[in-house]
């Protein structure tokens, strides 16, 4: 999706959430890890828009996302949700940048399960992981092209200020 | 040029030759740069338009290349591949990847027609930035993903 379309989409979504009077929003995305190939257990960190959102995480071992910056669809969505003062948590689980990563998606869902205190069965997702990776190749190739357009690769660069 | 003596004339010609050499070097380097850019863009267009599968029954895997200074890392995603059958070969600056699938994968309607297409292996040719010495290569496969370290 072109960048301008993403801006409009995130505004429309947040407008809809406001009108529905949604109390909490939990977003889930990946955090590209350079050493993902070697990683067995994946860490999840978070960004929250309000103190009430942070309260939701008190029974988890989530760590805040302290360094780095966010680009793309989730950055736009988080910005709009923050402006609208909607309690939002963005979960970022270590993942591959260039490949579909169903294992990371399952890790993130398990984290959501702990936040909402309700079981989420990820068994089928993990069983289907390889087939998802095969089917998602075209979508991933297109995503990488979109990311290159947004110069998302800057995320991988050494930050000027730490 | 009757006002030039022989020495001055030789000096003049020498400076003209030097100027000619500089112009040739500049034109050649600019042409080389333009050709490099063109072939990189052409490769990207080819990569974008070429389907991720072939009607002969093989799939093209996703891959990425990272330059780490003294070596490069090539990551290849090979879900459902039988790791024992992964073949990595080199010729000049090209890497040839082949791996059999543990079981046939069947997709319906991928060719734009009804009916099914069966896939039994992965194949890909990856252009690398330099000629590879196979002695300086390390291959590591885990969970259907391959990391290949190639020293420069």
Cα–Cα distance for residue pair B66/B75, rounded to 1 Å: 8
Please check whether residues B17 and B91 belong to one and the same domain: no
Contacts of A18 (CB under 8 A, 6+ apart): A84, A86
pLDDT tens digits for range B102-129: 999 998 877 666 678 899 999 999 989 8
Do B30 and B71 fall into the same domain? Answer: no
Cα angle: B41, vertex B99, B59; to 5 degrees: 50
In chain B, how many domains are there?
A: 2
Label residue B23 left, alpha or beta by phi (over 0 means left) and psi (-120 to 50 means alpha). Answer: alpha
A3-8 CB contacts, 8 Å cutoff, 24+ apart: A3/A149, A3/A150, A6/A72, A6/A73, A6/A76, A7/A76
Binary contact (A99, B48; C-beta < 8 A): no
User: At B127, which CATH number?
Assistant: 2.60.40.790
Q: Is the pLDDT of residue A162 over 50?
A: no
Distance from CA of B135 to the nearest CA of A (A): 23
Shared domain check, B113 and B67? yes
The model's confidence at residue B46, banded by pLDDT at 50, 70 and 90, is confident
Distance from CA of B136 to the nearest CA of A (A): 20
Residue B40 sits in which domain range?
1-50
* Residues contacting residue B101 through CB under 8 Å, at least 6 positions apart: B59, B80, B81, B82, B119, B120, B121, B122
Alpha-carbon distance B144 to B152, whole Å? 26
Residue ranges of domains in chain A, CATH in brackets: 3-155 (3.40.50.10900)
Q: What is the pLDDT of residues A100-128, one digit of tens each?
A: 999 999 999 999 999 999 999 999 999 99
Q: Are residues B84 and B16 in the same domain?
A: no
Question: To the nearest whole angstrom, how far is the Cα of A134 from the nearest Cα of chain B?
Answer: 6
Question: Residues of B with CB below 8 A from A97's CB?
Answer: 64
Of A97, A41, A39, whose CA–CA distance to A68 is shortest? A97
- Evaluate whether A47 touches A70 at the Cβ level (below 8 Å): yes
At A36 the pLDDT is: 95
Q: Is the pLDDT of residue B9 over 60?
A: yes
Answer yes or no: do A145 and B48 touch at CB < 8 A.
yes
Q: Which of B13, B34, B50 is the last residue of a domain?
A: B50
Chain A positions in Cβ-Cβ contact with residue B62 (cut-off 8 Å): 98-99, 137, 140-141
How many Cβ atoms are within 10 Å of B92's Cβ, its own excluded?
10
Indicate the average pLDDT of chain A: 88
- Predicted complex ipTM: 0.78
Report B:57-76 residues touching A (Cβ under 8 A). 59-64, 75
A96 vs B contacts (CB less than 8 Å): 75, 77
Are B63 and B26 in the same domain?
A: no
A146 vs A104 pLDDT, higher one: A104
Clarify whether residues B129 and B79 are in a common domain.
Answer: yes
């Amino acid at each position: 999706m072109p960048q301008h379309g993403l801006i409009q989409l995130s505004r429309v979504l947040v407008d809809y959430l406001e009108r529905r009077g949604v109390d909490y929003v939990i977003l889930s995305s990946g955090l590209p890890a350079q050493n993902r190939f070697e990683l067995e257990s994946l860490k999840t960190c978070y960004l929250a828009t309000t103190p009430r959102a942070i309260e939701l995480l008190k029974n988890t071992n989530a760590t805040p996302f302290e360094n780095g910056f966010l680009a793309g669809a989730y950055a736009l969505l988080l910005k709009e949700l923050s402006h609208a003062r909607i309690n939002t948590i963005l979960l970022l689980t270590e993942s591959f940048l260039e490949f579909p990563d169903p294992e990371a998606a399952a890790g993130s869902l398990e984290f959501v399960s702990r936040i909402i205190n309700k079981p989420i069965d990820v068994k089928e997702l993990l069983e289907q992981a390889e087939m998802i990776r095969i089917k998602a190749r075209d979508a991933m190739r297109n995503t990488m092209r979109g990311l290159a357009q947004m110069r998302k690769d800057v995320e991988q660069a050494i930050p000027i200020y730490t | 040029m009757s006002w030039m003596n022989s020495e001055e004339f030789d000096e003049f010609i020498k400076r003209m030759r030097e100027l000619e050499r500089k112009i040739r070097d500049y034109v050649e380097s600019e042409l080389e740069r333009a050709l490099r850019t063109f072939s990189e863009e052409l490769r990207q267009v080819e990569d974008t338009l070429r389907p991720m599968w072939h009607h002969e029954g093989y799939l093209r895997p996703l891959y990425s290349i990272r330059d780490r200074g003294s070596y490069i890392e090539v990551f290849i995603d090979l879900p459902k591949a039988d790791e024992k059958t992964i073949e990595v070969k080199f010729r000049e600056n090209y890497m040839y990847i082949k791996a059999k699938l543990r079981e046939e994968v069947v997709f319906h309607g991928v060719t734009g027609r009804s009916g099914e297409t069966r896939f039994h292996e992965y194949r890909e040719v990856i252009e690398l930035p330099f000629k590879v010495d196979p002695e300086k290569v390390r291959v590591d496969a885990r969970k259907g993903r391959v990391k290949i370290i190639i020293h420069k």
